[in-house]
């Protein structure tokens, strides 16, 4: 059986790698070398997928410049083409790839910047849900004997970022929200990425509130989450943290 009847395998090899010969069995009406024509497909694949990454990771792109970004994205594509056609979710492991990408090692905050941008996309497309009402939380707080076993679920759009670097400020500076010169990238920062309605919000959190929120997100009951947080942050103020989470509409539901 001629390979050209089932060209997908040959295409797959040749599409991503311009050093590979074009598949056999291709022709042009005027007898010209099919390579120039096959290159249209090569270009479409590479350019469109790089553009998909650019639209998700625009701050990373600003930080490293277009040329570096495209070279990095191309390396990523060689290793990990999308595994399905829903490109909104393409690039989920790009932050991990960046963390391992040697040429970017001089920018240690780059991977977490990518992670923040990825979380914004996740939050944007996450399931919609009505946030927990303040009254429901107040009712729960009025039953102190049941509080230790209370489970507080976060909104489906909630994504928590805890970084050793100031990626929240870096991101904000690239949105024109603060001058880049004021950002010291080597400072740890934490944020909750959230979309309670139509707009994605990036909410800076103090380290204790971030740890507490992380414990809730992992399904820990209130007593355990509080214990976890207090063990490394004795100054933690539970009521202030809950007030922040409820007013920012970050909570979804309560269970015992």
Residues that bind another protein (CB under 8 A): 2, 4-9, 11-12, 15, 25-38, 40-41, 44-45, 48-49, 52, 81-89, 124-128, 156-157, 195, 198
DSSP 251: E
CA separation for the pair 20, 41 (Å, rounded): 14
- Work out how close the CB of 32 gets to another protein at its nearest, in angstroms, rounded to a whole number: 4
Cα 210–chain centre separation: 17
When the beta carbons of 9 and 186 are compared against another protein, the nearer one is: 9
Q: How many other CB atoms sit within 10 Å of the CB of residue 18?
A: 13
Min dist. Cβ of residue 1 to another protein (A) = 10
From the CB of 211, what's the least distance to another protein, in Å? 27
| Least CB distance to another protein at residue 77 (A) | 10
Contacts of 20 (CB under 8 A, 6+ apart): 13, 14
Distance of CA 95 to the CA centre of its chain: 8
Indicate the residue among 120 and 221 with the shorter CB distance to another protein.
120
Cβ nearer to another protein, comparing 127 with 142: 127
Q: Which is nearer to another protein, 30 or 182 (CB)?
A: 30
| Nearest to another protein of 3, 231 (CB atom) | 3
Sign, Cα dihedral of 158, 161, 162, 166: negative
| Distance in Å, CB of 83 to another protein, minimum | 6
CB atoms within 10 A of CB 222: 23
Q: Which is nearer to another protein, 101 or 124 (CB)?
A: 124
Question: In terms of CB distance, is 5 or 142 closer to another protein?
Answer: 5
Element (H, E) at 121: helix 110-125
Shortest CB 233 distance to another protein, Å: 33
Q: How far is the CB of 222 from another protein (least distance, A)?
A: 27
Give the side-chain half-sphere CA count within 13 A for 230.
Answer: 8
C-alpha to C-alpha distance for 34 and 15, rounded to whole angstroms: 13
β-pairing verdict for 251-255 and 159-163: unpaired
**Max intra-chain CA distance, the chain:** 84
């Amino acid at each position: 059986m001629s390979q050209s009847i089932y060209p997908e395998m040959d295409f797959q090899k040749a599409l991503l790698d311009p050093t590979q010969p074009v598949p056999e069995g291709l022709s042009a009406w005027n007898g010209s070398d099919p390579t120039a024509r096959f290159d249209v497909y090569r270009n479409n694949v590479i350019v469109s997928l790089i553009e998909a990454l650019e639209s998700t990771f625009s701050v990373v792109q600003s930080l490293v410049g277009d040329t570096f970004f495209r070279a990095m994205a191309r390396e990523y594509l060689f290793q990990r083409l999308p595994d399905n056609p829903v490109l909104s979710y393409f690039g989920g492991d790009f932050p991990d790839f960046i963390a391992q990408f040697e040429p970017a090692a001089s920018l240690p905050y780059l991977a977490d910047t990518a992670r923040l941008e990825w979380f914004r996309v996740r939050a944007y497309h996450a399931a919609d849900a009505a946030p927990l009402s303040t009254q429901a939380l107040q009712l729960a707080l009025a039953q102190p004997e049941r509080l230790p076993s209370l489970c507080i679920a976060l909104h489906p759009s909630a994504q928590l970022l805890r970084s050793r670097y100031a990626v929240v400020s870096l991101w904000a500076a690239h949105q024109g929200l603060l001058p880049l010169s004021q950002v010291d990238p080597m400072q740890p920062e934490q944020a909750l990425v959230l979309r309670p309605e139509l707009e994605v919000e990036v909410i800076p959190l103090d380290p204790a509130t971030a740890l507490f929120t992380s414990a809730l997100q992992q399904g820990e009951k209130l007593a355990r989450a509080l214990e976890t947080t207090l063990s490394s942050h004795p100054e933690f103020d539970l009521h202030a943290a809950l007030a922040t989470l409820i007013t920012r509409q970050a909570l979804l539901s309560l269970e015992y």
